[in-house]
Amino acid sequence: MRKYRVVEVAEKDLEDLVRRAPELIEPGLKFVDHQAFTARGRLDVLLVDSGRALVVAELKVVEDDGMFVQGIDYYDYVMRNLDGFARAYDQHKIDPNQEPRLLLIAPSFSVTLLNRIKWVNIPTSLFTFQCIELEDAKGDVVPVYKEVTAPTVEVVETPITSEIVYGYITDAKIRKLAEETVAKIEAWDPERILVEAIKFAISIKVAGRAVAYVSPRRRHFVVSTRDAEGKWTGYPVNSENDLEAVLPLVQASFHKAGVRNP
């Protein structure tokens, strides 16, 4: 048996090890970029998995509870610019219809971090690592990764229906306005627009891509769509006047998606 010793590495060295051999973490994982610029800073490593989904990797060489929040910041930026990332790295055949994953790599993870992860609905993979150096190959450092399974929340899934979503609104007039709003939008192009109830919202899609969400609150609802600059923005609706101000933005989003008659 070849002898080895465990060695410590700097974060930039760990980043280089991940870049050179991502398949050691997971079969089929491929390197895309590192230190890619985002509005939240430079993300450590960007990968693509065997299903052609982007993987946002956050690396630490010490146990760090803050890495999860930092990773979410980068994940948020990638999610909001997924089409742009797919175009920028078109040689990697990234599928923008695949939900990205968040990958955290560190020597260990605290119970606090593991408990937080179970409440966040983001596909997250955790790997601990240890770097070893073979005695007969000085300077040749090899990372050894081990997947960690985060605890899950035991819940009884209740089928989501539009009645349940709208029923969250306690003001009857506002609830009716929310229902009428979704019906009005669906009528723009009923053959192509898909309306479905999801957790906490009504999703409105065209060709599988979300164009707007109607999210209930107790005494109002929020219409989320892209603003004039193309950024996802939520607009509170307390009355028909509020709705008149936001519907043109929804219409513009649907025009871009190719809907016929908004």
Give ∠ CA 51-254-37 in degrees, rounded to 5.
50
- Do 28 and 138 have their domain in common? yes
In this predicted structure, what is the pLDDT of residue 24?
Answer: 96
SS3 category, 155: coil
Residue with tokens 């009716």: 176
Report long-range pairs for 248-253 (Cβ below 8 Å, ≥24 apart). Answer: 249/225, 250/185, 250/211, 250/212, 250/223, 250/225, 251/188, 252/226, 252/228, 253/211, 253/212, 253/225, 253/226
What is the C-alpha to C-alpha distance for residues 54 and 41, in angstroms, rounded to an integer?
18
Query: The domain spanning residue 171 has which CATH number?
Result: 3.90.1150
153 falls within a domain: no
CB count in 10 Å sphere of residue 246: 21
pLDDT tens digits, residue range 22-81?
Answer: 999 999 999 999 988 777 788 889 999 999 999 999 999 999 999 999 999 999 999 989
Where a domain ends, among 148, 177, 207?
A: 148
Residue with tokens 């709208």: 166
- Do 121 and 166 have their domain in common? no
Where a domain ends, among 85, 118, 148?
A: 148
- Do 126 and 40 have their domain in common? yes
262 falls within a domain: no
Residue 16 token pair: 């280089």
Biggest alpha carbon–alpha carbon distance for the chain:
77
Please answer whether residues 256 and 262 qualify as being in contact, where contact means their C-beta atoms are separated by less than 8 angstroms: no
261 falls within a domain: no
The β-bridge relationship of strands 124-134 and 101-106 is: parallel
- Do 31 and 143 have their domain in common? yes
Per DSSP, which regions of the chain are E strands? 4-7, 30-38, 41-48, 54-59, 101-106, 124-134, 141-148, 193-198, 201-206, 209-216, 221-226, 232-237
CB count in 10 Å sphere of residue 77: 19
113 falls within a domain: yes
User: What is the separation of C-alpha 244 from the centre of its chain, rounded to a whole number of angstroms?
Assistant: 31
pLDDT tens digits, residue range 166-219?
Answer: 999 999 999 999 999 999 999 998 988 999 999 889 999 988 888 999 999 999
Where a domain ends, among 148, 177, 202?
A: 148
pLDDT tens digits, residue range 232-259?
Answer: 899 999 999 999 999 999 999 888 776 6
- Do 177 and 250 have their domain in common? yes
What is the C-alpha to C-alpha distance for residues 199 and 217, in angstroms, rounded to an integer?
13
- Do 139 and 180 have their domain in common? no
SS3 category, 121: coil
Number of domains in the chain: 2
154 falls within a domain: no
- Do 134 and 204 have their domain in common? no
Query: The domain spanning residue 40 has which CATH number?
Result: 3.40.1350.10
- Do 18 and 136 have their domain in common? yes
Query: Domain containing 243: what range?
Result: 162-256
In this predicted structure, what is the pLDDT of residue 253?
Answer: 87
